[in-house]
Structure 1
Amino acid sequence: MEEQKNSSNELILKAEQLFKWLAPYLVIALAIYLLSIIQLHNHRTIIDIDTMFHYNRFYDVSQQIKTGNYSYFQTNYGFNQSGRVVNALYGPMIAYINGFLILVAGTWFNYQIISYWVLGLIGGIGMYQLARKAKANKVASALVSVLFLNIGAYQAWIDHTNMIAWGAVLVPYAFIEGLNMVQDHDRPIRWIRLMLIMSLIAQTHVISTILTALGLIPFAVYGFVKANNKRQMIGRLLLAVIGTTLLSSNVWGALLMIFTKNHIAPTLAHSLAGNAVSSSNNTIRDEISRMLVLVFLIQVLYPTIAKYNFKDKEFNKINLLVSLEGFIIFAISTVYFPWKEVSSYLPILRTYLQFPHRFLILAYPLLLVGLAMTMTQLTSKEAVGVTGIGKAFMIFTAFVTMQNYGANYARIADHSINLSRIFVVNQSKKGKYSKNVGVPSSEDMIKYKHGLTGDELIYGEDAKDADAKYGKLYISSGARGLLYKNTTNIRAVDWATRTKEGRFKLFDLIEKINPDYLPVRGKKKVTAEAVDRSYIKHVVKPQESGKYKYSVKENKLIITWKGKKRARRNLPLVMYKQSHLTVNDKKVKHPFKHSKSKVKTPVVMQKKGKNQAVLYFKASPAYSWTLFLALASWILLLGFGIYYLFSNYILTKQLNN
């Protein structure tokens, strides 16, 4: 009887320990659920400024996986089936992961919800583990993890489909290695872990890789000063750099190959000052709530003023390091930094940095881990006389977290009910649209707002008849390229986003043009806007005309059409230096000789009757080696990981026996 009682008590004890271990992760999961609950209720897919760009490239990968027609460079299914190169230059690994998620999800709506959970769990757990690495207690660590999910890049993925979110959720893991540099004086560089996380970020978002590397510099410098074996630290750091270069060689190799052999269109230039962070009632992209600013101000002041009031001097110094670095980076990202002057001296940043709020992917994790350390210290037994202040500060931080969640809830509700701001035309009445050069001036502009009841009215008329009466919508989007085509038929968008059959139809209903990585003719400067218009004229409209039939075989894109007579024809395809084109089984040697397009689209001689063009991309032999190195490096790393886990499991089992 006594043995049974002891066994029961032991079981209860183990259950309690399991719950205590699981509790922070359950809190993170609850936070993600609360952010997705609106869409789970109304079943609406949010479509915004970057959605169509990334959905095109993910859809292309999903079709590659589905059909087995793999094409690492050439886009054969997305982007108007034009043969553009996008994924090889922009987060190739994460593109294939998202393509797989789309296949698993089945619909755009399901994929969107799944992506919230994947991103949220990666980011929330990463932030929690970062705070725990800094020796913050579980309550403070869980609290800042929930706050992390309610501010910045994660919210930008929900609202705008900003790809930087995928890099941002990995940044806390990089800072875990940064903390190790300053905590472990014997082994400051865990080079395999550092190499792995930096390679994952490189395979996700290039600008995030550069920013993260810059963010780790203060940790490396501090760690080097404190390191017991400086030579060993340098050696392991070099191993991490070399390993990262090998694991991400496919990314850097592709960028070099495309940009050195082709004249690539510039990305859209943006106002740096206009995209710097300012305070408001929101915390997303370039906005931060005023109450959160107050929390961060208190946080950065605390370790600066009270850094010698506690026994653990190392703890205080690390808090000071992360808080000061985080606040300096945060200050640089704001409107108070002289971005206008920077823009005039370094105009290239308008094209490549584009948005100063990108620095927040560094600032937020650093400030939040410092915040967790401060709350831990102020509520500890050592904090005699100030534990009440510490608890009050923790409650205030929890209140600010809920305030940010409330703002996010309201914004997501508005975006999902109205589908997106992308559907709102800022014009008070129907009229001719002539502001955007290159778009037919005969098309009507339509303003409408989708109602809460699901009834769509346009000037008192049902939206389902609007397309027939008014024609297509041509709308100039204020940011990120040209929104060439939209639809007033919300029911059609719902069908396209909530059924497997409608996945490709979404691209017919909404067409948004981005100049990213498009090859252009000549070496004269050309604006991104001019490239957009050229792409519409020479690729989008012909593709939409119904005159071409598209098919894919292995890595080749095949289009067929009927010619009324022998004549020159501009094909709706995009060609790079490495692209090869055959028409009616004959290689086209000078595809741009008669082309008038700014984008490199070929002009060929068609024959009377049926014609067939085959486009394929042939990477240079040098690049093939970089791709091989990347694949081989990942396979070796995976093999090492399996061996390490297996050997540790066997060793642990033997020791237990």
Structure 2
Amino acid sequence: MSAWAAAVFPLCLIPLINQINKNKYCVFGVAVSIAVMFQIHILSTLFLIFIYFTFFLYVFIKSKNKKCLLISLTKSVLLFLILTTNVWLNMIYIYSSNKLVPPFVNQNMENNTITAGSSYWFSTPLILPLLLAIYISGVIIKRNKLSPLLILFTINTIIFVLLSTNFLPWKFLSHLNNPMLGLIQFPFRFFVPGSILLIISFALLIETIPDRRIAKPIFLVLLLGMSFIQTIYENTEHMINWRINEAPISGRAHTYLLIQDKNDVKKSVFYREKKKLLDIYQKSTPDYLPVYGDGTGSKYNAYGDEVILQNSKYHKEVKNKKLQITWQGKTNNWVTLPVIKYKPSVFILNGKRLSDSDINTSMIGGVALKEEEGENNLIVSYKEPWFFLPSLVISFLGWTWVFLAWIKSFY
């Protein structure tokens, strides 16, 4: 789950609280909440949909008017599709016209759980394990007095926390080569929504206490202050360790440090132009690049050799919404350029539009072509489908209507 997705996630759960407490399904709220998350992060959207499914299933079983509920659900789906037209329609086009490199399937998922190599997710912040222990104790003590809302949040909290541990046989699952596992990659990702659900559930549990002293404003202010202090402490500790560490950047698989003196990495952090830091330290990330041929071999190594290590040999800039690459050619031989070719990509070399026969592509869509002696200029553009602009307009109009409807609700 991305940082922005985690920040927005609690807000996306508000319609669920209203749905249970007020026994009213909000077509508008459900569609907007899931659409906002879909615009930010797709995996987080799947987590959110799962939570919504458990709540909807409960409401559906309890409802006396199931037909009306299904109609409302259909309306939410249609509104969601309108608000996210710019995403799903163009994704369908990209995937249908290209075979893309999927995210890698982690063959050692059992090492990336909160009960194994990623235990820091559980111990940061330090109060989180204590919060979980207090919450579990409170749920056990008040098990006969829990509201349906708290029960549903508790069930989802338990599910997501358990999914982030080795309670599941991740070692066995990681060898199944299931595409869904490639989307998950690291089980600790389940702990982010799990911790959010835990905090919400803890707040709901406090509401069941007759004398809720901890819910008074002074305690909330103290809790907020403690959170800020811990955040500052954690950041300061990391910065001090980075300052005194001789190796400013840890060497990881498929990363490239393109300078000899590592101290220059520290210096580049303080430059006004942060581009230098991004240039000297790069990581091979071939996910979602096009696949040509049988696709065998290491895509990570191919991206490093064909893109990262080739970038310094060419000058790139964007003009008129098109990528322009210039270089000095010495012979009429084939050269590999740090650019990727998707099926709708358009290449113009020295004023001449190139056909597919003029270009050789590697397994990740890396481009090789014949250069000319002297200065060469390659213009790269992408021919978007006819529905690209309409999809943006439809989505924009949908969100405009949502905003106006929200403003109108106050009057």
TM-score by length of 1: 0.55
Among candidates 40, 51, 64, match of residue 215 of structure 1: 51
**What root-mean-square deviation, in Å, do the aligned CA atoms of Structure 1 and Structure 2 show?**
3.5
Among candidates 186, 190, 193, match of residue 362 of structure 1: 193
Q: Which residue of 1 aligns with 2:344?
A: 578
2:38 and 2:335 map into 1 onto residues whose CA distance is 40
Superposed counterparts of 1:142-161, under 5 Å: none
Q: Which moved more, 1:288-297 or 1:561-570?
A: 288-297
Among candidates 325, 335, 348, match of residue 179 of structure 2: 348
1:336 and 1:228 map into 2 onto residues whose CA distance is 38
Output one character per residue of 1:342-372: Cα deviation in whole Å (capped at 9) or x when no partner.
2234543442111112222332222222212
Q: Which residue of 2 aligns with 1:183?
A: 21
Among candidates 166, 173, 190, match of residue 11 of structure 2: 173
Among candidates 529, 534, 546, match of residue 302 of structure 2: 534
2:292 and 2:343 map into 1 onto residues whose CA distance is 11
Q: Secondary structure at the match of 1:571?
A: strand
Q: Which residue of 2 aligns with 1:417?
A: 240
Q: Once the 2 structures are TM-superposed, how far is the Cα of residue 588 of structure 1 from its aligned partner?
A: 0.9
Q: Which residue of 2 aligns with 1:508?
A: 279
2:153 and 2:246 map into 1 onto residues whose CA distance is 52
Q: 1:416 to 1:604 in 2, by over 3 A?
A: same
Q: Once the 2 structures are TM-superposed, how far is the Cα of residue 539 of structure 1 from its aligned partner?
A: 2.0
> Aligned AA for 1:543?
N
Structure 1 gaps of 5+ residues are 1-162, 310-314, 382-386, 420-449, 464-472, 649-657
Structure with bigger gyration radius: 1
Q: Once the 2 structures are TM-superposed, how far is the Cα of residue 204 of structure 1 from its aligned partner?
A: 0.7
Q: Which moved more, 1:349-358 or 1:573-582?
A: 349-358
Q: Which residue of 1 aligns with 2:294?
A: 523
1:290 and 1:494 map into 2 onto residues whose CA distance is 29
Structure 2 gaps of 5+ residues are none
Q: Which residue of 2 aligns with 1:134?
A: none
In the alignment, is the contact (CA less than 8 A) between 1:201 and 1:208 conserved in 2? yes
In the alignment, is the contact (CA less than 8 A) between 1:300 and 1:327 conserved in 2? no
Q: Which residue of 2 aligns with 1:239?
A: 75
> Aligned AA for 1:234?
L
Output one character per residue of 1:242-262: Cα deviation in whole Å (capped at 9) or x when no partner.
111221122222322222221
> Aligned AA for 1:578?
P
Q: 1:343 to 1:565 in 2, by over 3 A?
A: closer
> Aligned AA for 1:167?
A
1:550 and 1:349 map into 2 onto residues whose CA distance is 36
1:639 and 1:409 map into 2 onto residues whose CA distance is 39
> Aligned AA for 1:183?
N
Fraction of identical pairs, as percent: 22
Q: Is 1:277 paired with 2:277?
A: no
Q: Which residue of 2 aligns with 1:111?
A: none
Q: Secondary structure at the match of 1:572?
A: strand
Q: Once the 2 structures are TM-superposed, how far is the Cα of residue 208 of structure 1 from its aligned partner?
A: 0.2
In the alignment, is the contact (CA less than 8 A) between 1:253 and 1:626 conserved in 2? yes
Output one character per residue of 1:303-339: Cα deviation in whole Å (capped at 9) or x when no partner.
3552445xxxxx6332222123212321222122221
Q: Which residue of 1 aligns with 2:168?
A: 337
For this pair of structures, how many residues does the alignment match?
A: 406
Among candidates 392, 396, 408, match of residue 627 of structure 1: 392
Q: Secondary structure at the match of 1:203?
A: helix
Q: Once the 2 structures are TM-superposed, how far is the Cα of residue 174 of structure 1 from its aligned partner?
A: 2.0
Q: Once the 2 structures are TM-superposed, how far is the Cα of residue 291 of structure 1 from its aligned partner?
A: 6.5
TM-score by length of 2: 0.85
Q: 1:365 to 1:576 in 2, by over 3 A?
A: same
Q: Which moved more, 1:205-214 or 1:516-525?
A: 516-525
Output one character per residue of 1:437-473: Cα deviation in whole Å (capped at 9) or x when no partner.
xxxxxxxxxxxxx42xxxx868xxxx9xxxxxxxxx9
> Aligned AA for 1:542?
Q
Q: Secondary structure at the match of 2:175?
A: helix
Output one character per residue of 1:530-587: Cα deviation in whole Å (capped at 9) or x when no partner.
2222222222222213xx3323222211112222233332222111001110111111
